Structure 1
Amino acid sequence: MPTDVKIKKGLKLNLKGEAENSIEQAQKPKTVALRPSNFHSLVPKMVVKEGARLKAGDEILFSKYSDKTRVVSPVSGTLKEIKRGAKRKILDVIIEADDTFEYKDFGIMDPLKTDSSEVKNRIFSTGLGIFLNQRPYNIPANAEDTPKAIYISAYDTAPLTASFEVVLQDKVEHFQTGINALTKLTGGKVYLGVDKNSISFLNDIENVELLTISGPHPAGNVGTLIHETEPMNRGERVWTINPEDVAIIGEQFNTGKFNAERTVVVTGTAAKNRKYFKSIIGAEVSSILKNDYEENSRIISGNVLTGEKIESDSFINFFSNTLTVIPEGNEHRMFGWLPFKDNNIHSASKTSLSWLFPNKKYDVNTNLNGEERALVVTGEMEEVMPLDILPMQLIKACMAGDIEKMENLGIYEVVPEDFALVEYTNTSKIEAQEIIRNGLDIMITEVG
């Protein structure tokens, strides 16, 4: 029987700009990029040099502190450039893609008929381990660890995000094989979160503990699922992975090829062609969006709550299944503080009239509608935090760098995305996600 995960605290954001459920082949990118900053805390060491010829699946770089944490090429082609910043920090590894991809052959393997140690070695030695993230800290998983459980959320409750029922509709076999492989990595359970109100092939996946999710965002966050099933304690490790990455792992086991296909949904009111596109991990944004968006817009790799602002000549982030395009909020609204001035302004409080229209959809922009203010006790953070923690107190502990208080207040249970709604709703307009990330980095350095 599935386990119900029902959340009452949170906030459902109804935004305009949803994509239609059709998939189109994106233009083949001329170049793709791997950005080490997408793998938090990873210090990269290059394996190949500029000008090197690569097959899809060839190793590009590894972690300085764990040589089993590897990143491989998503395409075949030529390593065009290694962009560096201050102190020769690697910013981007840019690969010029071939017209027809050549794949490194890893061989076919049935994970259910293979010893656990061999499956684990296959995953980490071939670069598939980079898809696994460790909680606490939300950093790349360490091959030396054995997690107490593995979590996959196939129901993203954030606004304007990809539906994994669409993304995975033609990858069911590979997804199942990927699940089979993940069961070999833990002595505990592999949890799969799905929409309780949807009946799809995801409900029939085997070798998982099914979690049926209902409630407002952040009901679908992995952190919420962990908290409701096996809460984190100090010293414990849990691994998480995105659904499409499970299918990539499964396809490599089924075919012997590393097929880095990434299905990206284009959403947001400033995007003109809102649908799903089959592309490649790290592809050029222009190969997906082209010029089908309005001027004076912001392109976000990810969703509007947790995504990263990128430029039109940049590359989509390694883990992103969503490109969101919304208008820039750089226009001043006269008397914008008046609640009846603009009925298109959404607010979680009653500072606008949106509370009178709970089902209305809003055309949002990037305007903050105010500046950063003093951090005061209002109780609004707790209204959107379903985890059993004190969000304001934890934020203050992170700002102060108080390790003991951070531990006592639940820093091991959270990652920045768990504070996305706190950041959106709080009247102080503080960068809550950045504060939590800095707090986690302190814990990595001081506690490990």
Structure 2
Amino acid sequence: MNNGMKIRVRGGLPLPPVGSPVNGTTEVATTERVALLGADYPGMRARILVDQGDIVEAGAPLFEDRGKPGLRGTAPVSGKVLQINMGAKRRLSSIVLAANNEAPLRFDVSRANSNDGVRALMQETGLWTSFRTRPFDRVPSIEGKAAAIFVTATDTYPNAPNPRHVLAGQENIFTRGLAALKHLTQGKLYLCQNAGAALAEADPQIVIVNVSGHHPAGLVGTHINRLHPPTRQGPVWHIGYQDVLALGKVLTEGHLISVRTITLTGEGLRQPRQLQVPMGADLHALARREMTPGQKRILSGPVIVGRECQFLTRYHLQATVLNAKAVAPRHWFFAALRAAAVPEAFVPTEALERALGPKLHVVPLLRALSIGDAETAARLGCLQLAEEDLALATYVTGGEIDFGMRLRSVLDVLEAS
């Protein structure tokens, strides 16, 4: 055990898993196609840096933000550019690659011992997009400064990969990534993990935070609210433990290894699996051999916050296969879980208080979001939140109002003001 700080979420909801749990074995899996998705980079106006048919190395830039050169997406694998798909208003929809076994691009890591050096390396490799900010949950600007950085190494979604198992045997690489992140802030680096042995050594800057409780105990919004609420003048950044591991591997090996350890679960599978796959892997190809008969829907992410997508999205560590007939209503899962997980004796206010991990005035906040009152919502703490923080509020109210979408609308107003 370690003697770090503690966050205990009282209440929360023990979400039941959809489908069977996975065992602890991780299979290495590849797919012929991988993709970067424009929806993973909201607000970015992408300038495409490749042409269809180009051969690229893993780590090579595929696009960058027109307004912020240096903020870029890079190839997760070496391969051929198969498709460049543009959506409405010429926004990037996806870049699809056909993977090959060619060597990855090499990076100079010799200067990654300072703020400028780590910043430059993360931008060159595309790992800068691992960061998201609070407020607004956007990728930070390349000149941005963080009042603190949160590393999330705990997960309370059902059937999520266990961070301890993923990091086992790679602790030194993970620690190297953490050490590099210390250069990017003069504030604290909070490593939020489940209770147990520390995943890294604490020091005057690195704070080990032991997190316990039901979901949403594993959400970074809960941690930020308890430890370092952000302001417009003092934003905080957050990053997932697997991206810190990827940074450590760049520093150790000199090239980008864009892999994810994910779980592939759901009622539509014969056998759930834990897989190590390329970032942006083709979920349809991964799921095909284990799917039961009948039409399916495949989500990137856990059911409660996932989105239907062929490819693994940038920030998800799960994929879920569902029987299509069961998912006609948008919030079918919320209604099903409500009956299973929320006692009938609860009044709505009590259920909502349990559903939101951050210690905020929940009912007034949701009321402000519902009517689009951005000023009141900001005063009540919405700048600390992102859509995932309100998924349980949507669930316990029966899914009639998507509070995550309402929050995003209000955040967009506040961001533009």
TM-score, normalised via structure 1 length:
0.84
How has the CA–CA distance of structure 1 residues 54 and 404 changed in structure 2, closer, same or farther, with 3 Å as cutoff? same
Q: Find the aligned partners of 1:97 and 1:137 in 2 and give their Cα distance.
A: 34
Which secondary structure does the structure 2 equivalent of 1:241 belong to? strand
Question: What is aligned with 2:333?
Answer: none
Which secondary structure does the structure 1 equivalent of 2:377 belong to? helix
| Aligned-pair CA distance for 1:203 | 5.4
Q: Equivalent pairs: percent with the same residue?
A: 25
Counterpart amino acid of residue 86 in structure 2 = R
Question: What is aligned with 1:5?
Answer: 7
Question: What is aligned with 1:405?
Answer: 376
Contact 1:194 1:203 in 2 (8 A): no
Q: Deviations over 1:120-168 (max 9, x none)?
A: 2222233210111111111112121110111012110122212112222
Question: What is aligned with 2:42?
Answer: 40
Counterpart amino acid of residue 199 in structure 2 = L
Question: What is aligned with 1:388?
Answer: 359
Q: Find the aligned partners of 1:269 and 1:203 in 2 and give their Cα distance.
A: 36
| Aligned-pair CA distance for 1:399 | 3.8
TM-score, normalised via structure 2 length:
0.90
Q: Find the aligned partners of 1:343 and 1:169 in 2 and give their Cα distance.
A: 33
Q: Aligned to 1:232, which of 222, 230, 233?
A: 230
Contact 2:337 2:395 in 1 (8 A): no
Contact 1:40 1:138 in 2 (8 A): no
Question: What is aligned with 1:348?
Answer: 342
Question: What is aligned with 1:366?
Answer: none
Structure with the higher fraction of residues in helix conformation: 2
Contact 2:52 2:84 in 1 (8 A): yes
Counterpart amino acid of residue 342 in structure 2 = A
| Aligned-pair CA distance for 1:75 | 1.1
Q: Deviations over 1:36-68 (max 9, x none)?
A: 111222221111222222111111111122112
Question: What is aligned with 1:87?
Answer: 89
How many residues are paired up?
405
How has the CA–CA distance of structure 1 residues 210 and 329 changed in structure 2, closer, same or farther, with 3 Å as cutoff? farther
| Aligned-pair CA distance for 1:227 | 1.1
How has the CA–CA distance of structure 1 residues 211 and 378 changed in structure 2, closer, same or farther, with 3 Å as cutoff? closer
How has the CA–CA distance of structure 1 residues 226 and 344 changed in structure 2, closer, same or farther, with 3 Å as cutoff? closer
Q: Aligned to 1:322, which of 297, 312, 318?
A: 318
Q: Is 1:116 the equivalent of 2:115?
A: yes
How has the CA–CA distance of structure 1 residues 441 and 350 changed in structure 2, closer, same or farther, with 3 Å as cutoff? same
| Aligned-pair CA distance for 1:328 | 4.0
Q: Which has the larger radius of gyration?
A: 1
Question: What is aligned with 2:332?
Answer: none
Q: Find the aligned partners of 1:276 and 1:382 in 2 and give their Cα distance.
A: 33
Q: Find the aligned partners of 1:156 and 1:225 in 2 and give their Cα distance.
A: 12
Contact 1:5 1:225 in 2 (8 A): yes
Counterpart amino acid of residue 346 in structure 1 = A
Q: Find the aligned partners of 1:343 and 1:149 in 2 and give their Cα distance.
A: 35
Counterpart amino acid of residue 14 in structure 1 = P
Q: Find the aligned partners of 1:412 and 1:344 in 2 and give their Cα distance.
A: 27
Contact 1:195 1:212 in 2 (8 A): yes
How has the CA–CA distance of structure 1 residues 88 and 331 changed in structure 2, closer, same or farther, with 3 Å as cutoff? closer
How has the CA–CA distance of structure 1 residues 85 and 120 changed in structure 2, closer, same or farther, with 3 Å as cutoff? closer
1:135-146 aligned at under 5 Å gives the runs 135-146=134-145
Q: Find the aligned partners of 1:436 and 1:329 in 2 and give their Cα distance.
A: 29
Counterpart amino acid of residue 343 in structure 2 = S
Q: Find the aligned partners of 1:390 and 1:101 in 2 and give their Cα distance.
A: 54
Q: Is 1:20 the equivalent of 2:14?
A: no
CA RMSD of aligned residues (A): 2.5
1:338-377 aligned at under 5 Å gives the runs 345-350=339-344
Which secondary structure does the structure 2 equivalent of 1:346 belong to? helix
Query: After alignment, is 12-21 or 173-182 more displaced?
Result: 12-21
Q: Deviations over 1:295-326 (max 9, x none)?
A: 3443221112111122xxx2111222111223
Q: Find the aligned partners of 1:412 and 1:267 in 2 and give their Cα distance.
A: 33
Q: Find the aligned partners of 1:157 and 1:3 in 2 and give their Cα distance.
A: 19
Contact 1:2 1:209 in 2 (8 A): yes
Contact 1:264 1:278 in 2 (8 A): yes
How has the CA–CA distance of structure 1 residues 138 and 4 changed in structure 2, closer, same or farther, with 3 Å as cutoff? same
Q: Find the aligned partners of 2:102 and 2:397 in 1 and give their Cα distance.
A: 48
Q: Find the aligned partners of 1:232 and 1:435 in 2 and give their Cα distance.
A: 20
Contact 2:190 2:209 in 1 (8 A): yes
Contact 1:149 1:186 in 2 (8 A): yes
How has the CA–CA distance of structure 1 residues 377 and 12 changed in structure 2, closer, same or farther, with 3 Å as cutoff? closer
Q: Which consecutive residues of structure 1, in runs of 5 or more, have no partner in the other structure?
A: 333-341, 356-375
Which secondary structure does the structure 2 equivalent of 1:33 belong to? strand
Question: What is aligned with 2:331?
Answer: none
Contact 2:270 2:291 in 1 (8 A): yes
Q: Is 1:437 the equivalent of 2:408?
A: yes
Question: What is aligned with 1:172?
Answer: 171
Q: Aligned to 2:270, which of 269, 272, 285?
A: 272
